[in-house]
Amino acid sequence: MRTAPFEYHRAHDIDDALEWLTRDGDREVKILAGGHSLLPLMKLKLATPTVLLDVQGVSELKGVTMEPGWIRIGALSRYVDLTRDPTVAEALPLLSQVAATVADMQVRNRGTIGGSLCHADPQADIPAAVLALDGRLIVVGPRGERRMTLDEFIVAPFLTVLEPTEILSAVEFPIPSGPQQSVYLKRPHPASGYPIVGVAITANVPTPGHLSNVRVVVGGMGSKAYRAYATESTLNEKELSPETLRQAAEVAITEAQLSDDADVPYHSQLIRTYVERALHRLYGGVA
Amino acid sequence: MENHLTEITMTVNGVSVSRNIEPRVLLAHFLREELGLTGTHIGCDTSQCGACTVLIDGEAVKSCTVLAVQCMGQSVTTIEGLAQTTLHPMQAAFREKHGLQCGFCTSGVMMTAIELLKQYPNPTESQIRQGLDGVLCRCTGYETIVRSVQHAASLMSKQELPQEEEVG
């Protein structure tokens, strides 16, 4: 399959890229990173941009840097980079773990964190990790830089607040203060490997058997990854036992955000089972 | 725009090649149609089956999901680039352990396995199966593929021993 014809340009740096994006308002310019979401869409003619702007040479979008209290991950970081980078593995083991579950080795060698977030596929793995780790998306445009949460960035399936003149440059994550536990548990679709459900949980462990700052995120179903706030409340500052974990999983069903075409009993059961299993895995690590 | 051509230069199997191509030409098409390297197969054409896997700068990549223009200045290795005066140990192992049936997926499987063995020179069966997650064999000949990769690992570790002795 071939894509529709397009013009191809390589951006040399971020200013060059922003200039290309603002140069001609009539033409649809799409940013090409790893291409593993965009090119399949273009081959199916579901996307037909006039101009492809290849940003793989833009150094400002690359690399992992530590700042006081924060870790900054360039938007061009590939899944394979996230799984191998010792800084990421140390500070954000959840992100490494999630990246390692994405698709297969060949795809992880190309696909990027920024590309996944901008594609905003409701079945992607990365958004759940970004939400659970309280990441901030750094968006640069002609009017400067803005920072937002994943919830603010992704509006609906395949739709973000990114303006045509803007680029997602990086994601910043707060470095957890104190010991943090995290887990990602996913049920991959047997053919596609996309999560049917993916549950990401992070929590601080002030004392054994207790959790605080619990964030429970459900991804892979519904229109976008979401936090299960009521489920978190049943766990925060409570004495943990297998019974409280089971109750928390029941609560997760009551606040499930399923898509319109969901098989409600099946997907509810999946949420309960995967939230409970994920909590057990987390609890096993903290008790 | 139809005729808008871009000049591209890359190294393929150690040889520098330059062509003027449409930007929409996929790496898989570039290899097969421009360079005649038809050992790279196109199976699903939707980045799932892995038959089109080649190495770009040593990393396994599905060439149906990469534009040739993205490979400007990079080094691509295809199945044709493996054998030197003798078969590459991966090829020898696949021949000896019957790692191919119809053979359609084989070049993609071998290119993927080469990166796999770089990561895990002595892989467990589970590491092989997980590493080959991105290649599909419609003959379902996975058992012999796994045995072939295990055998290749053993051949390649034997090959490397003399070099280590020299260094030591």
Closest residue in chain A to residue B130, using alpha carbons only: A104
Q: Over pLDDT 90: what percentage of chain A?
A: 88
Please check whether residue A230 is in contact with residue A205, taking contact to mean a CB–CB distance below 8 angstroms: no
Nearest-angstrom CA–CA distance, A234 and A136: 26
Average pLDDT score over chain A:
95
What mean pLDDT, rounded, does chain B reach? 94
What pLDDT, on the 0 to 100 scale, is given for residue A25?
74
Q: For residue B108, give the chain A residue with the closest CA.
A: A106
- Looking at per-residue pLDDT, the higher value among A184 and B161 belongs to A184
Question: Mean pLDDT throughout A23-49?
Answer: 93
**Pairwise CB contact (< 8 Å): A110 & B26:** no
Same fold, B6-81 and B89-162: no
pLDDT confidence of residue A24: 75
Q: Do the chains contact at A2 and B24, CB–CB below 8 Å?
A: yes
Residue B65 to residue A36, Cβ atoms within 8 A: yes
Contact B69, B21 (CB under 8 A): yes
pLDDT tens per residue, range B58-97: 999 999 999 999 999 999 999 999 999 999 999 999 999 9
Give the confidence band of B2 by pLDDT, cuts at 50, 70, 90: low
Asked if B1 lies within 8 A of A36 by C-beta distance, the reply is no
CA distance A111 to A80: 8
The pLDDT tens digits for B141-156 are 999 999 999 999 999 9
Which A residues 222-251 touch B at CB under 8 Å? none
Contacts of A8 in chain B (CB under 8 A): 6, 23, 67, 69
Is A70 part of the contact surface with chain B (CB cutoff 8 Å)?
Answer: no
DSSP assigned state of B81: G
For B48, name the nearest residue in chain A, comparing CA atoms only.
A192
Measured between CB atoms, does B61 come within 8 Å of chain A?
A: yes
Q: Which residue of A has its CA nearest to B62?
A: A106
What pLDDT is recorded for position B162?
A: 57
Residue reference for tokens 């896997």: B53
Q: How confident is the model at residue A208 (pLDDT cuts 50, 70, 90)?
A: confident
Count the alpha carbons within 13 Å of B135 in the hemisphere toward its beta carbon: 35
Provide the pLDDT for residue B168. 39
> What pLDDT sits at residue A286?
64
Q: Which residues of A touch B48 (CB under 8 A)?
A: 192
Nearest to B38 by CA among B23, B48, B28, B50: B28
Query: pLDDT at position B166, please?
Result: 47
Mean pLDDT, rounded, for A67-72: 95
pLDDT of residue A205: 86
CB contact under 8 A, B62 and A32: no
Question: In this predicted structure, what is the pLDDT of residue B149?
Answer: 98
Q: Is A105's CB within 8 Å of B112's CB?
A: yes
The string of pLDDT tens digits covering residues A114-159 is 999 999 999 999 999 999 999 999 999 999 999 999 999 999 999 9
* B6-81 CATH fold: Ubiquitin-like (UB roll) (3.10.20)
For residue A121, the model assigns a pLDDT of 96
Give yes or no for residue A168 having a pLDDT over 80.
yes
Q: What is the pLDDT of residues A91-123, one digit of tens each?
A: 999 999 999 999 999 999 999 999 999 999 999
pLDDT exceeds 90 at position B4: no
- Report the range of poorest mean pLDDT among A72-76, A221-225, B20-24: A221-225
Give residue-wise pLDDT tens across range A55-66. Answer: 999 999 999 999
Give the domains, in start order, of chain A with CATH numbers: 7-54 (3.30.43.10), 62-174 (3.30.465.10), 180-286 (3.30.390.50)
CB contact under 8 A, B66 and A110: yes
Amino acid identity of residue A268, one-letter, is S
Residue A115: list chain B partners with CB under 8 A: none
Nearest C-alpha in A relative to B133: A104
Domain range annotation of chain B: 6-81, 89-162
Q: How many residue pairs from chains A and B have C-beta atoms closer than 8 A?
A: 81
The DSSP code sequence of B24-79 is T-BHHHIIIIIS--TTS--SSSSSSS-TTEEEETTEEEEGGGSBGGGGTT-EEE-G
B166: closest CA of chain A, how far (Å): 31
Q: What proportion of chain A, given as a percentage, has pLDDT over 70?
A: 99
Position A239 scores a pLDDT of 86
**A35 contact residues in B (CB cutoff 8 A):** 65-67, 70
B60 in contact with A, Cβ within 8 Å = yes
Tell me the pLDDT band of B3, cut-offs 50, 70 and 90.
low
Of A121, A115, A157, nearest in space to A137 by CA: A115
Residue A166 has what pLDDT?
A: 97
How far is it, in rounded angstroms, from Cα A248 to Cα A229?
11
Fold of B89-162: DNA polymerase; domain 1 (1.10.150)
- Asked whether the beta carbons of residue B60 and residue A109 sit closer than 8 angstroms, the reply is yes
- Owner of token pair 């399959």: A1
Contact A10 B72 (CB under 8 A): yes
> Which candidate from B24, B67, B116 shows the least CB-CB separation from A5?
B24
Of chain B, the percentage scoring pLDDT greater than 90 comes to: 91
Mutate to test the interface with A, among B70, B105, B116, B135 (most CBs of A within 10 A): B70
- Count of CB atoms within 10 A of residue A25's CB? 10
For A84, nearest residue in chain B (alpha carbons): B119
